[in-house]
Structure 1
Amino acid sequence: MPDPLRLLVITGSPGDAPLVGEALRKAGLPAETISHRLVAEGLDALRRESFDLILLDPGREPGAAARVSEEAPGTPVVILASRDDLDAAVGALWHGADDYLVRETISPELLVCTVRHVLALKRAEVALGRVEHLWREIGRSLHEGVLVLDPGGTTIFAGARMAEILGYAVSRIQGASFLSFVDPGDVPRAKTLIEQGEWRRAEAELRLRRSDGATIDALLAASPVTGGSPGYLGVAVGVMDVTGQKIAEEKGRRRNAQLYVINQVVRTATSSAGMDELLAGVLEKALELLDFEGGSVYLLDPGRSRAELVAEIGLPKGFSFRRRIVDLNAPPYDAVLGQGMAHFVEDYLHAYPQDAGAGIQAFASIPIIAGERVVGAVNLVSRKVHVFSPDERDLLASIGREVGSAVERMRLHEQANFYLDLMTHDINNANTVAIGYATLLAETLSGPEKDLAGKLAAAVRQSAEIIGNVSTIRRIAEEALVPGPVNLDHIARSVICFFPDVDIRYLPEDRWVSADDLLSAVFVNLIGNAVKFGGPGVSVLITSREEGGTALVSVEDTGPGIPDAEKTRVFEKFRKSGRKSGKGLGLHITRTLVERYGGRVWVEDRVPGHPERGAAFRFTLPACPPVTGRSG
Structure 2
Amino acid sequence: MPLMSRSEVVLSPRMQVFLVIIATLLVGIGYVTGTILGLSAITPLLFYFPIILAAYWFPRQGVLFAVGIGIAEVFFVYLYHYPSLPDITFAVTTASFYVLVAIAVVISSLSSGLKDREARYRGIFSSSEAAIFLVQNGDSEMRIEEVNPGGGTLLGCHPADLRGESLALFWRDDLARQTLFESLKKDGSISQLESTMTRENGESVPVLISGSLLPGRMMVLTMIDISARKAHEQEMEARNQQLSIINRVIAQASAATSVEDMGRGVLANLTGYLGCEYGGITLFREGSSRPAAKVDYGDCSLYQSLMDSDDESLARVKGAITGGKFLVWNRGSPLQCRSPETGIVVPLQSGDETIGVMYFLSWSGRPSSKDQQQTLESLSREIATAVTRLLLSQRVSETNQQVNLYLDILMHDINNANLASLWYGDLLQDMLSGESREIAGKMIEGIKKSRDIIRNLETIRKIQVRKNELKAVSLDDAIRKEMRLFPEAHIEFRENAGRVWGDDLIGEIFNNLLGNSVKFGGRGVRIFISSTTPDPETVLVEVSDTGPGIPDDLKSVIFRRFSHADRQNAGKGLGLYIVKTLLERYGGTISVTDRVPGDHTQGVSFRMTFRKAS
TM-score of the superposition, structure 2-length normalised? 0.46
Name which one, 1 or 2, has greater alpha-carbon Rg.
Answer: 2
TM-score of the superposition, structure 1-length normalised? 0.45
Judging by fraction of residues, say which structure has more helix.
Answer: 2
